Chain A
Amino acid sequence: MANVREKKEVSVGKAADFAVGQFKIVEIDGREIGITRLKSGELRAVRNHCPHKGAPVCKGIVGGTWLPCGPGEMVYGRDGEVLVCPWHGFEFDLLTGSELFQDKPLKLLMYAATERDGEVVVSV
């Protein structure tokens, strides 16, 4: 089919080495890809290149955020599901890759990542 690239699967290391809330950055075909584990155990593989202005986004903070709320309130949520770019601070949802709370969100470039036979495999 036109426009569909053949994906290739690359093993990036032992599953046990991918900790919750931390990115491990690997290079595949000259592209830096950060892999992290969510609290649910699911893996995320993210191109280490912020869609805003190209910062190494996987070196940012992984944590939660303060959800939109009324003046004077403060509600913390999404713990462990938010990636904050280390440059201009744009926040990305690690579940979907979308920039948070924007009408026209930027999107992280994400790759499928799975565990197989104790290894983490990324499709690029």
Chain B
Amino acid sequence: MDTAAVPRQATQFKVIDCDVHPYVKDGLKSVFPYMPEAWVQRFMRKRANVSQEARSLKYLHPNGAVNRDDARPPCGGVSGSDPHYLVQDLLEKNKIEHAVLNCLQTGSLCSTLASTDESIVLCSAFNDFLINEWLTVDNRLKFAMSVPSQDPQASAAEIRRIGKHSQIVAVSLPLLNILMGNRYWWPIYEAAQEVDLPILVHVTGPDSIFYGPPISAGGIPDSYVERYVTLNQAGESSVNSLVFSGIFEKFPRLKVIFVEYGFLWLLPLLWRMDRTWRQLRHEVPWVKKSPVEYVHQHIRFSTQPIDEPRDPKDLDKLIEIMGYDQLCFSTDYPHWDNDMPGQSLRGLPSAERQKIFWNNAYTTFRMA
């Protein structure tokens, strides 16, 4: 898609960015003040640290870094590790009014890299670090708090511990290779619904690499590029599972936002789910209306990485068919595949664009 003719510009309307990744600068050392001494000693003794990316050799980014080199803070550290610079480089430059922070370091520890006990301690420590050292920097920074998903009860306790913080707007749930409709997740949905927070899901990094998080269908991909293309698959399976397991009948106020799973796949998925439900509804009689209605009522999808058909009008057409209420704009800053608001979805009518850049997210996250 050639947008060369159009200079880089901010949008004229308000923007909520649903996907921004903060990095904890000095790794585990930074969060030591937020955990009990016994655990500090435990982690120091094993010389533990946290990497930026949980990757095996074959999935390292072909250009060397998932984080943009050009977004490194001038004072040093990886991109995304300085809240002051992030506010300036992302929010100010692009006129973003709210940015939802989702820490993938916490996510990858919780889904995969840490033991269950370690993940519970680390999750609270990272959450508290971000609350104290990031959210206080700027009120425009909102937070999708993480939960230690290897233990649903501990996750629910974490939600009840900090979930009422005014800048916390969602629960970031590190997915495991257990479909989202499974009863395993019930305590987390119950607690999230209790404090009015939507569940936000996003790949945590070790997906399709290690045992623990969701894996791509059909086998293990052989390269970064191949894996990248398959990462949406867990999104599809999860939407399907949530609806047919009756999660939204069990938790009628629950909302879920799928972040960075793409969205164009939703169209054929919904057609297929709808037809199959008409045929075999009686197998899952708790599904009382068309799957399409549950999805429209309860589930949202972030836009990035926006697919780019060679003719951009094809994308506009598909979004028109999908309807404009499902999508929430996201940048994915500071990652290499980020989308900035000024260059995104320019072909859509402006009222509809405003829904995607603001309204849909505003009514999904706990903004008020």
Do A and B share a complex? yes
Of residues 25 to 53 in A, which have CB atoms within 8 Å of B's CB atoms? 49, 51-53
On whether A59 and B69 interact (CB within 8 A), knowing A53-B343, A84-B63, the answer reads: yes
Q: Report whether B8 and A88 are in contact in the complex, using a CB–CB cutoff of 8 Å.
A: no
How many pairs, one residue from A and one from B, have CB atoms within 8 Å of each other in the complex?
Answer: 47
Distance between Cα atoms of A55 and B4 in the complex (Å): 11
Q: Is B286 an interface residue (CB 8 A)?
A: no
Q: A55-B70, A86-B69 are in contact. Are A49 and B336 (CB under 8 A)?
A: no
Which residues of B are found within 8 Å of A54, using beta-carbon distances? 3, 7-8, 340, 342-343
* SS class, residues of chain B in contact with chain A: loop
- Residue pair A51, B337 in contact (C-beta under 8 Å): no
Find chain A residues with CB under 8 A from B68 CB: 86-87
Which residue of B is nearest A47, CB measured?
Answer: B4
Contact B337 A49 (CB under 8 A): no
The total of chain A residues at the interface (CB under 8 A) is 19
Interface size for chain B: under 10, 10 to 19, 20 to 34, or 35 or more residues? Answer: 20 to 34
Minimum Cβ distance to chain B for residue A33 (Å): 15
A99–B69 CA distance with the chains assembled, in angstroms: 20
Tell me the minimal C-beta distance from A76 to chain B in angstroms. 13
A86–B3 contact, CB under 8 A?
no
Given A106-B2, A106-B4, A53-B70 contact (CB < 8 Å): no
Interface of chain A, helix or strand or loop or mixed? loop
Partner of B63, one of A49, A59, A61: A61
**Bound complex: CA A104 to CA B337 (Å):** 21
Is A88 a contact of B342 with CB atoms below 8 Å? Answer: no
Q: Is the CB of B4 within 8 A of A51?
A: yes
B240 part of interface (Cβ distance < 8 Å): no
Q: Give 1 or 0 for each of B33-65: 1 = CB within 8 Å of chain A CB.
A: 000000000000000000000000000001110
Task: Kindly list chain B residues whose C-beta atoms are within 8 Å of the C-beta of A106.
Answer: 2, 4
> Other than the known A54-B342, A89-B62, what 11 A-B pairs have Cβ atoms closer than 8 Å?
A49-B8, A51-B2, A52-B3, A53-B339, A54-B3, A54-B343, A60-B70, A86-B336, A87-B68, A88-B336, A89-B336
A interface, CB within 8 angstroms of B: 49, 51-56, 59-61, 84, 86-89, 104, 106-107, 109
Q: List 10 A-B contacts (CB under 8 A).
A: A49-B8, A52-B3, A53-B340, A59-B69, A59-B70, A60-B69, A60-B70, A61-B64, A86-B68, A89-B336
